[in-house]
Amino acid sequence: MLPRPAGPVARTDHRPADAPSGTAADQAHRTTTAERGAFAFARCSCGWQGPARRARDRARRDAAEHTAR
């Protein structure tokens, strides 16, 4: 389990709308974005974490690129 960041964290689920929920692939790579101060980053249930970004959109793209692999 990933350590919890200090302070408030905003999360957004990034699963394609047409993807079936509960599949093995869905469980392996469920991504979220979180914010820590002025930075946003993507995180995945597989343990991967993207770099801190100042742009939320770039953190969301990091998550999308990770799940596309």
Domain holding 60, by residue range, is 30-69
pLDDT of residue 15: 55
Examine residue 52 and state whether it is found in any structural domain, yes or no: yes
d(CA 49, CA 23): 22
Helix (H) or strand (E) holding 56: helix 56-68
In the structure, what pLDDT confidence band is assigned to residue 65 with cuts at 50, 70 and 90? very high
pTM metric for this prediction: 0.60
42 in Cβ contact with 32 (< 8 Å): yes
pLDDT at 4: 59
- Residue 23 inside a domain? The answer is no
Q: Quick one: tokens of 28?
A: 């392996």
pLDDT digits (tens, 9 = 90+) for 13-63: 555 555 555 555 556 789 999 999 999 999 999 999 999 999 999 999 999
| 7 assigned to some structural domain | no
Q: Which two tokens stand for residue 14?
A: 């990034």
> How many domains in the chain?
1
- Give 54-62's long-range contacts (Cβ < 8 A, gap of 24+): 59/33, 60/12, 60/14, 60/33
Predicted local confidence at residue 69, as pLDDT:
80
